[in-house]
């Protein structure tokens, strides 16, 4: 006899389907993380906002925050180097703040955040394999907003969200690498054309033409930019 379905899994099935759809779309990483944050906000009862913290070494950044208060609360964590999102990522476990006015683990952050009107927080790590990518969090504007069910929901949500974030970042790195390769080919081609222009213009060999380009690429001017200037000048001469 089959086991009865797990209620939370059933409840999150639609959310997970929407997450998976992000990987099939042409959306940017920033847009996709905004969708993830909105889904977290919708999924966890009692939350007034949500966001994603991406952590890579000492580099911390917020993405997809649902409102300005979330962005500010996260920025204060990075500025003060303390807070629940950083703790969740470091400890690789869910971290709850019952009441910011009573919080003693991160006193400077808790005091700085109180003017924002936030009173509770729940942060879950984004862990994919051996890599900790950051944390996803929800905030509430009243204390004790998140019960055991809320914690379970965010824990399940974060496990799936981590896979989405990992795949989005991999796709983005591949795209940047591809763009860089295409640009490198274009730069190589324009350098070749510029050398041809200089060879014809000054009756020099290829090595001398290259030295001339290198001389023009000093003081912050790249070799490719120097080559484009030579090619542009040749085009202008032809037109006159």
pLDDT digits (tens, 9 = 90+) for 112-135: 999 999 999 999 999 988 889 999
Reported residue count of the chain is 240
Query: Higher model confidence: residue 23 or residue 34?
Result: 34
Domains, the chain: 7-175 (3.30.450.80), 177-239 (1.10.10)
Cα 97 to Cα 66, 88, 109, 198, 240: the distances in Å are: 19, 11, 12, 67, 72
pLDDT at 36 over 80: yes
Tell me the C-alpha distance between 107 and 83, whole Å.
9
pLDDT tens profile 212-228: 888 888 767 788 888 88
pLDDT tens profile 11-22: 565 665 565 555
Percent of the chain with pLDDT over 70: 79
Closest CA to 23 of 161, 124, 153, 154: 161
Q: What is the mean pLDDT of residues 97-111?
A: 95
Question: Among 24-28, 91-95, 105-109, which stretch is predicted with the lowest mean pLDDT?
Answer: 24-28
What pLDDT shows up at residue 1?
A: 41
Strands (E), the chain: 49-56, 59-63, 95-97, 120-128, 131-140
Burial class (CB in 10 A: 0-12, 13-18, 19+), 134: buried
């Amino acid at each position: 006899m089959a086991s009865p379905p797990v209620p939370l899994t059933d409840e999150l099935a639609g959310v997970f389907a929407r997450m998976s759809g992000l990987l099939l779309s042409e959306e940017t990483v920033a847009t996709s993380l905004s969708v993830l944050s909105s889904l977290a906000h919708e999924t966890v009862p009692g939350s007034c906002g949500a966001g994603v913290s991406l952590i890579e070494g000492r580099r911390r950044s917020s993405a997809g925050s649902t409102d300005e208060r979330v962005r500010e609360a996260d920025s204060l964590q990075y500025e003060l180097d303390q807070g629940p999102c950083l703790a969740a990522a470091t400890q690789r476990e869910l971290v709850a703040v019952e009441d910011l006015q009573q919080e003693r683990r991160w006193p400077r952050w808790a005091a700085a955040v109180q003017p924002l009107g936030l009173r509770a927080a729940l942060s879950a790590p984004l862990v994919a394999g051996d890599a900790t990518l950051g944390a996803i969090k929800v905030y509430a504007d009243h204390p004790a907003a998140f019960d055991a069910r809320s914690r379970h929901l965010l824990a399940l949500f974060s496990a799936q969200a981590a896979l989405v974030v990992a795949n989005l970042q991999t796709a983005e790195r591949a795209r940047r690498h591809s763009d860089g390769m295409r640009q490198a080919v274009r730069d190589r081609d324009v350098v070749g054309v510029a050398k041809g222009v200089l060879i014809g213009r000054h009756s020099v060999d290829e090595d001398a033409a290259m030295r001339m380009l290198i001389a023009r690429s000093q003081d912050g001017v790249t070799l490719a930019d120097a080559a484009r200037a030579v090619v542009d000048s040749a085009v202008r001469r032809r037109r006159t």
